[in-house]
Structure 1
Amino acid sequence: MKNNSILSIRDLHISFGAVPVVHGLNLEIEAGKTLALVGESGSGKSVTSLAVMGLLPEATGHATGSVRLGDTELLGLSENRMRSIRGSQISMIFQEPMTSLNPVQRIGDQLAEVIRLHRGLKGTALREAVLEMLRKVRIPDPETRMKQYPHTFSGGMRQRVMIAMALACNPKLIIADEPTTALDVTVQAQILDLLRELQRETGTAILFITHDMGVVAEMADHVLVMQKGREIERGEVHEIFSNPKDDYTRTLIAAAPSLVGLSVKRVVPLEVLQELPLTEGSSDTKDAPVITVNDLCVRFPVRSGLLSRLTGNVHAVENVSFAIGKGETLGLVGESGSGKSTIGKAIIDLAPVHAGRIQLSGQEIDYKDPKSLSALRRDVQMIFQDPFGSLNARQTIGSAIMEPMTVHGLAQGKEAREKMHWLLERVGLDPRRAASLPHEFSGGQRQRICIARALAMSPKLIIADEAVSALDVAIKGQIIDLMIDLQKEFGVSYLFISHDMAAVEKICDRVAVMYFGEIVEIGAKKDVIANPVHPYTQRLLSAIPVTHPAQRKARIITAADKEKPRSPLKSLDYSPPVSRWARASDGHYIRQSA
């Protein structure tokens, strides 16, 4: 073992009961270096990290071999000894911070608990240490934020808190288990920059677990590729990307986002407009668009005081307008909190419409009229990010697909069963599994079930809300290809809501960019992605991970980065400025600042 090795794993075997899941794994990480452990779900990455942390389930998990932290053998250590090592010498950042943070404990108290246990600080010294860590991970106004609860933080801010907890005791090793998978590209770029900067300051070794080769190209010094619990390939990051030896590695690299950084070809807007032409640039202007959204506003009331008086409103969506033609896909992109998902929910009556008009095939939707709502729910279907959460765990998948057909009177009995079997075949699933329950399927298969259920209504529009964001890159590609094929077959339109610019580039015809509840740029995919004009669009594209480590560079600082953080919370008398637009080219529009 090298003298400066922080973690050394030799011939690691892990099994659950009689089922082996990791087979003879070897790896080594030096101080100040990052090893990326790469593979799809089920490859053994996270299980390996749990073995290092001593967190395998006692009743079923069993590990043999050697796991050494410096000179200390971790396998076989008592729980008391491992508890003293966790947090002080090894820290872990999990994929979903909300499940790792205590929802009923203030952020400052959770961070203080780690520092008090491992560094023995108390009183003023403990408070100052908490504030120092919050400042280090660049959480604004730490004196106020440390008194707040996790649910008041955005996903990116919660992940910063997790990083602060991981670094609080200057550990020798940080295990980052998919820490950016659920984050949008701008927040992901900030988190990766932060980890690199803190690693330079502290010399910490990082075991970075991911399935995203774009993140690997940004972060890693060395790469180890796993498949089905076995090592497939390992090497220095430039060598892996330049000369991958295994077909599986090549598949993972090919599935990484194809958009690299930012290439701005500035366009001077041709003319200033008073309003946004809705149908120009849509796929079919001869007929009425499938859906037209005019000046949509969604606001959530804020109440405070003993009497819970209305004191303001959160302006989640502000004066948003767009149209989608038949068989067209409009991508709605932007970072978390920009209002993307709220628009989709408002269309299907899951969020309150404060103002604006929504028309379906030229007919305005009256959300107070049961007949109009019934037609809406027949013609517009939604696919959610979490397929397991949107399926009834006790209902067979066949019944889940047939239920909307029978409720709306589209098919009954034998006809409904035959259509259900046909839909399962169309989405690539075996109709003989119609009697199975959702937990018997993988994440990608469950998303196929949700697509089949949406298609059961023969809808005109499907709203896909982050429908592929939580999937492995290979499964994500399969689902996108499936959606494209089904669109060609059925002529259905999509509103594709996503923070994944690579997925948007592949499936969408046009793209609308959201920023703080407003569309700031809209146009054909090639115009918005290849020729971004609005500063925020440039920032969004600059944050996309590179596809090869040789392309690493300092992230481009745009005007949007220099803006002070804005708050969607407005006073009761707030009046939004009138929208002004500029035309960059046919169908390509940019919102102008007031």
Structure 2
Amino acid sequence: GGQRQRVVIAIALAGSPDIIIADEPTSALDATVQKQVLELLRTLVDETGVSVILVTHDMGVISEITNRVLVMRKGQVVEADHTTAILDQPGHDYTKKLLAAVPRLRVPPTTMSSEDGNVDGGSGRPADIGDDDLLLVAEDVSKQFSRPDFPWGLGAAKASFGLSDVSMRLPRGTVTGIVGESGSGKTTFGRILAGLDTAPTGRITIGEHAFDVSRSGRRSGLLGRVQMIFQDPSVSLNPRMTIGETLDESIRFGARTGSSKEPADLAAMMDRLGLPRSLLGRHPHQLSGGQKQRVCIARALLARPEIIVADEPTSALDVSVQAEIVQLLKDTIAERAMTMVFISHDLAIVQAMCSSVYIFKDGRIEDFGPTEFIFSRSDNPYTRALINARPQRFIC
């Protein structure tokens, strides 16, 4: 996703335009790449005089690059002023609500040696967790991708690791975060957990059942035990099915897997996610990006799985809706004793959601441990670089 987003940015910049309309240009980018892209846009504005209209939900992006801000609600501009004035002294209640909902990354100014914490210097092996109430164990999952030496497939193919000996131990009823740069293997690992991709080596155990990841999820029986919330809702929703048909299908699929004896309540789920019931008769192209993402969250929850892999589930949502969805996910996990793997570039949301965090880099686990340790005391240079790339205004 992050690679695709950068390609689109490159296409827009290559034409040397007078005006660039950037609609959520950094939503799929990790913090370090996002910072680089914003610096590039700022440099282009200063050097070439190009004007940029930046459409975004991310207040951090606004604080980093913009000169002026227009706050819109229901098709109208409710407030417009210089960026510093909007961020420091918002005048409209809606602006105040948006800024109050922005998650802050809490980083105490203390550091600690990795020898004192729950990390092992990036060996890729998780720290010991008691076997009591473990739900999912992934062991030595590896996957390679091949790429040609030369353009257009000429020459021999080179192998590069998408994942290399990745292992995790996830307790029941917890949320575990996965953070890393674009292309670090986060989504690949999530798709393997969900039975949507295979890996030549490794094993996944859910409860007492072991699954061979070299076989497809349908053949191994893994498919259905884990549900996935995809990063791009526009691609993951069937354009020929109405929203109601999509959600009904998920309810029937969950019933077939026998994952829960409790009947799924479609209307209650729509209400809980803030989706009007009138959307049930519409098709995906008739919904906004945020509405489509909430439909994808509803689809995953209505299947009543044991585990949910959430790949950037809040990237298409504005900050006020984002806060509501994060709370909904936390409440649902607590009520159903589910386990969630939460993949995100947003470190503040990861900190708010997750009890432990794994940091991915180049297909390996670079750092891991309890959330409080990772954000306040880990001295891993890569972890600190990700944290320092966060806009300073929203670090406390």
Q: Under TM normalisation by the shorter chain, which class is it?
A: 0.7 to 0.9
Mark the runs of 5 or more structure 2 residues left unpaired by the alignment. none
From 252, 259, 263, the equivalent of 2:98 is: 252
Q: What RMSD in Å do the two structures reach over aligned CA positions?
A: 3.5
Question: What CA distance in whole angstroms lies between the structure 1 residues aligned with 2:179 and 2:95?
Answer: 29
Q: Do the aligned residues in 1 keep the contact of 2:311 with 2:343 (CA within 8 Å)?
A: yes
Paired residue type of 1:382: M
Q: Does structure 1 residue 507 correspond to structure 2 residue 353? A: yes
- Match of 1:533? 379
Deviation at 1:392, TM superposition (A): 1.9
Change (3 A) 1:202 1:394: closer
Question: What CA distance in whole angstroms lies between the structure 2 residues aligned with 1:378 and 1:541?
Answer: 35
Q: Does structure 1 residue 297 correspond to structure 2 residue 176? A: no
Q: Do the aligned residues in 2 keep the contact of 1:264 with 1:530 (CA within 8 Å)?
A: yes
Superposed CA deviations along residues 187-209 of structure 1, whole A, max 9, x for unmatched, are: 11011122233434345554433
Q: Does structure 1 residue 331 correspond to structure 2 residue 331? A: no
- Match of 2:242? 396
Question: What CA distance in whole angstroms lies between the structure 1 residues aligned with 2:90 and 2:307?
Answer: 41
- 224-233 or 399-408, larger mean C-alpha shift: 399-408
Q: Do the aligned residues in 2 keep the contact of 1:184 with 1:336 (CA within 8 Å)?
A: yes
Change (3 A) 1:192 1:326: same
Deviation at 1:456, TM superposition (A): 3.0
Q: Do the aligned residues in 2 keep the contact of 1:222 with 1:234 (CA within 8 Å)?
A: yes
Secondary structure (helix, strand or coil) at the match of 1:345 reads: helix
Secondary structure (helix, strand or coil) at the match of 2:33 reads: helix
What pairs with 1:317-466 in structure 2 (closer than 5 Å)? 317-367=163-213, 373=219, 375-407=221-253, 410=256, 419-429=265-275, 434-466=280-312
From 155, 165, 175, the equivalent of 2:15 is: 165
Q: Do the aligned residues in 2 keep the contact of 1:385 with 1:466 (CA within 8 Å)?
A: yes
Percent of paired sites with the same residue: 35
Q: Does structure 1 residue 201 correspond to structure 2 residue 51? A: no
Secondary structure (helix, strand or coil) at the match of 2:241 reads: coil
TM-score (norm 1): 0.58
Mark the runs of 5 or more structure 1 residues left unpaired by the alignment. 1-95, 98-152, 552-594
Deviation at 1:341, TM superposition (A): 0.2
Question: What CA distance in whole angstroms lies between the structure 1 residues aligned with 2:362 and 2:112?
Answer: 24
Question: What CA distance in whole angstroms lies between the structure 2 residues aligned with 1:546 and 1:279?
Answer: 34
Deviation at 1:428, TM superposition (A): 4.4
Superposed CA deviations along residues 15-51 of structure 1, whole A, max 9, x for unmatched, are: xxxxxxxxxxxxxxxxxxxxxxxxxxxxxxxxxxxxx
TM-score (norm 2): 0.84
Question: What CA distance in whole angstroms lies between the structure 2 residues aligned with 1:204 and 1:433?
Answer: 40
Secondary structure (helix, strand or coil) at the match of 2:391 reads: coil
- Match of 1:60? none
Structure possessing the higher relative contact order (Cα contacts under 8 Å, 6 or more residues apart): 2
Question: What CA distance in whole angstroms lies between the structure 2 residues aligned with 1:463 and 1:346?
Answer: 10
Change (3 A) 1:175 1:277: closer
Deviation at 1:329, TM superposition (A): 0.5
Secondary structure (helix, strand or coil) at the match of 1:166 reads: coil
What pairs with 1:449-528 in structure 2 (closer than 5 Å)? 449-528=295-374
Deviation at 1:394, TM superposition (A): 2.3
Change (3 A) 1:267 1:224: same
Deviation at 1:235, TM superposition (A): 2.4
Q: Do the aligned residues in 2 keep the contact of 1:402 with 1:416 (CA within 8 Å)?
A: no
Question: What CA distance in whole angstroms lies between the structure 2 residues aligned with 1:426 and 1:209?
Answer: 27
Q: Do the aligned residues in 2 keep the contact of 1:296 with 1:319 (CA within 8 Å)?
A: yes
Question: What CA distance in whole angstroms lies between the structure 2 residues aligned with 1:474 and 1:252?
Answer: 6
Question: What CA distance in whole angstroms lies between the structure 1 residues aligned with 2:203 and 2:127?
Answer: 13
Report how many aligned residue pairs link the two structures.
388
Deviation at 1:160, TM superposition (A): 4.2
Question: What CA distance in whole angstroms lies between the structure 2 residues aligned with 1:226 and 1:212?
Answer: 14
Question: What CA distance in whole angstroms lies between the structure 2 residues aligned with 1:416 and 1:275?
Answer: 38
- Match of 1:266? 111
From 178, 183, 192, the equivalent of 2:38 is: 192
- Match of 2:63? 217
Question: What CA distance in whole angstroms lies between the structure 2 residues aligned with 1:433 and 1:174?
Answer: 33
Question: What CA distance in whole angstroms lies between the structure 2 residues aligned with 1:374 and 1:421?
Answer: 33
Deviation at 1:225, TM superposition (A): 2.1
- Match of 2:6? 156
Question: What CA distance in whole angstroms lies between the structure 1 residues aligned with 2:216 and 2:37?
Answer: 46
Q: Do the aligned residues in 1 keep the contact of 2:63 with 2:393 (CA within 8 Å)?
A: yes
Change (3 A) 1:205 1:326: same
- Structure number, greater radius of gyration: 1
Q: Do the aligned residues in 2 keep the contact of 1:289 with 1:362 (CA within 8 Å)?
A: no
Question: What CA distance in whole angstroms lies between the structure 2 residues aligned with 1:371 and 1:257?
Answer: 36
Q: Do the aligned residues in 2 keep the contact of 1:293 with 1:323 (CA within 8 Å)?
A: yes
Q: Do the aligned residues in 2 keep the contact of 1:213 with 1:547 (CA within 8 Å)?
A: no
Question: What CA distance in whole angstroms lies between the structure 2 residues aligned with 1:174 and 1:399?
Answer: 38
Deviation at 1:533, TM superposition (A): 1.6
Question: What CA distance in whole angstroms lies between the structure 1 residues aligned with 2:251 and 2:21?
Answer: 47
Deviation at 1:486, TM superposition (A): 1.2
Q: Does structure 1 residue 276 correspond to structure 2 residue 122? A: no
Question: What CA distance in whole angstroms lies between the structure 1 residues aligned with 2:52 and 2:148?
Answer: 44
Paired residue type of 1:319: D
Deviation at 1:325, TM superposition (A): 0.9
Give the structure with the higher percent helix. 2
Change (3 A) 1:481 1:307: closer
Paired residue type of 1:166: S
Question: What CA distance in whole angstroms lies between the structure 1 residues aligned with 2:276 and 2:20?
Answer: 42
- Match of 1:590? none
Question: What CA distance in whole angstroms lies between the structure 1 residues aligned with 2:6 and 2:173?
Answer: 35
